[in-house]
Amino acid sequence: MRHLLLIPVVLAGGLGLSACSDKGDETVERAFQDVNVVDESDLNDVMLTVSDPNEAVDYFKRSLDQNPNRIDLQRGLALSLVRAKRTPEGVSAWTKVVGMQGATSADKVELADAQIRNGDWAGAEKTLDSVPPTHETFERYRLEAMVADANKEWKKSDSFYETAVGLTTTPAGVMNNWGYSKLARGDFSGAERLFGQALRQDPALFTAKNNLVLARGAQRNYSLPVIPMDQTERAELLHTMALTAIKQGDVKTGEGLLREAIDTHPQHFEEATRSLRALEST
């Protein structure tokens, strides 16, 4: 009898061990699933920064074939298409994101950005109008300013640019855009001031250097500003200044600036040489 009584105990112990084994397998499986999710998330982030965005497009398309309802993968596809300059496809991808469950105001802002890149200013304005006023981000106000510029609503534009500048720690790019807005509306001194501020934030921003020269040239100030520049940049800025002078009828000044640009450039400056030959032939 003593042996018979041991049998249920042994069986119970065996069942207990079996249950522990099953729970252990489930725990291990869940752990591997968690690791796979982390790995996939890391991979998604990596694909968004790869040098060839078309590779990222292919990756996210393959992933969406297996998980068509994953909004994070759809976002990745939309971002990659815009990075790859496949803008019409990017607009379509962001439109799909905005219509998915879990879409956010930030997604609408991304859609508006893609629409602007695609030249659909009216669509971008409509999209931004649908973003609630409580969504106050740098990117939102930067785009609002650009739309206001396109509509020539200058007061709105200035207000949006000012707000955007206050919402970023790297305002050089938006200051440059704001300056170009001032340049387009004929406020040359205001543009010059903003380009100067942009360069104080980022002394390497060549676009702002070139725009600063345009603003000074528009005021018939044909001296280069005192800003950091290497020899090649100096030659290119002299070329920009020369063309600005010629466009305003100051041909002799422009000719002298072209010759100076050619002499300054450390290599053969084909573009300036071609401009000088065209000027001399007329």
| Interval 75-130: pLDDT, tens | 999 999 999 999 999 999 999 999 999 999 999 999 999 999 999 999 999 999 99
pLDDT of 22 > 80? The answer is no
CA 26 to chain centre: 44
Q: Which two tokens stand for residue 225?
A: 């500003």
Q: What is the pLDDT of residue 50?
A: 72
| Interval 159-200: pLDDT, tens | 999 999 999 999 999 999 999 999 999 999 999 999 999 999
pLDDT of 20 > 90? The answer is no
| Interval 197-230: pLDDT, tens | 999 999 999 999 999 999 999 999 999 999 999 9
Better-scored residue on pLDDT, 35 or 193: 193
| Interval 246-258: pLDDT, tens | 999 999 999 999 9
What average pLDDT does the structure give for the chain? 88
Q: What is the pLDDT of residue 46?
A: 81
pTM exceeds 0.85 for this model:
no
pLDDT of 30 > 80? The answer is no
pLDDT of 29 > 70? The answer is no
